[in-house]
Amino acid sequence: MRSSRKEKVQDALIQEQAMAAAILFQQHQRNGGSLPFDRSTSLRFPTSGSKKNSLPRSSSSRARSLTDPLLQPQQLVNQDVKLDDLETNHFVLVHGGGFGAWCWYKTIALLEDGGFRVTAVDLTGSGIHSFDTNSITSLPQYVKPVTDFLEKLADGEKVILVGHDFGGACISYMMELFPSKVSKAVFVAAAMLTSGQSTLDMFSQKGDSNELMRQAQIFLYANGNDHPPTAIDLDKSLLKDLLFNQSPTKDVALASVSMRPMPFMPVLEKLSLSEKNYGSVRRFYIETPEDNAIPVSLQESMINSSPPEQVFRLKGADHSPFFSKPQALHKLLVEISKLPST
């Protein structure tokens, strides 16, 4: 009885922490500041160093495991990085459908701790971007915040684009528009399409085999049921199983109060990608083996259809590795940034 009451108190505390994190991140975006968010305690890296170098572990409702790190893993990752030697140290993070810039909060903190520049963008009608999702009618309209940002880059300045989920189609569109401004493109459990293909086409490759996705989708008809859907929402009760099956509870709670519907029309839009523009940008893919939204079989199908320069696999990652494997994702992003020009 006492244990049950304790669990309820802990669950309530987790919900409060998630709400606070969402509010803090919104303030962070409005003010252009940098917030020292806590790291997830789900991080698993080999221990290194002596006791005198150990750092206090962050508070958690999970008991400490013998495999937990005594050093912050990003300290080991960042110590060999010479930022001045990189082609660019500026990451631009593009979220997936229904998400917002808020979902990258761990990745932002880890990269900034290492001295990298990070820009996480809210796409139109996403995160705290005040636009009605149901009114978005095209991919260019949806990705306009990224387009505006890249257009303002100084001559000769380059960035590393990182796209998650539907953000993969969004960064592909950017690669076609601004190939000279993109040093590398990283697809994280993302839609990596071929020319003439839409994101809906990509999902249709597997037919109706993803029953969980089909059950979770809620189509919204702002123009009436006799017109095409205007947006897609997800059943909150299925979010954890679909997107966050390996993620910490507090991050699932954060997502449940922060996610918004994604516009439907951009999903139907077929991309026009040329070898001269899109094909000139170095591409990398990060697979997520425990993914229930874009199963690894579908990820590999996209990889085989349009092979990138290199493929990485995040062992144990669900569809949202910025939550489930933040340290390992950070390590891969840094590794990709260090790869020299070929």
Residues marked as catalytic: 165, 291, 319
Distance CA 248, CA 17 (A): 12
Kindly list the strands in the beta sheet with 90-94, ordered across the sheet, starting from the edge strand earlier in the chain: 117-121, 90-94, 159-165, 182-190, 282-287, 310-313
In the sheet where 217-220 sits, what is the strand order? 217-220, 231-234, 262-263
DSSP codes joined into one string, 118-181: EEEEPPTTSTT--S-GGG--SHHHHTHHHHHHHHTSPTT--EEEEEEETHHHHHHHHHHH-GGG
Closest CA to 59 of 46, 47, 41: 41
Give me the amino acid identity at 274: S
Contacts of 186 (CB under 8 A, 6+ apart): 160, 161, 162, 163, 283, 284, 285, 286, 333, 336
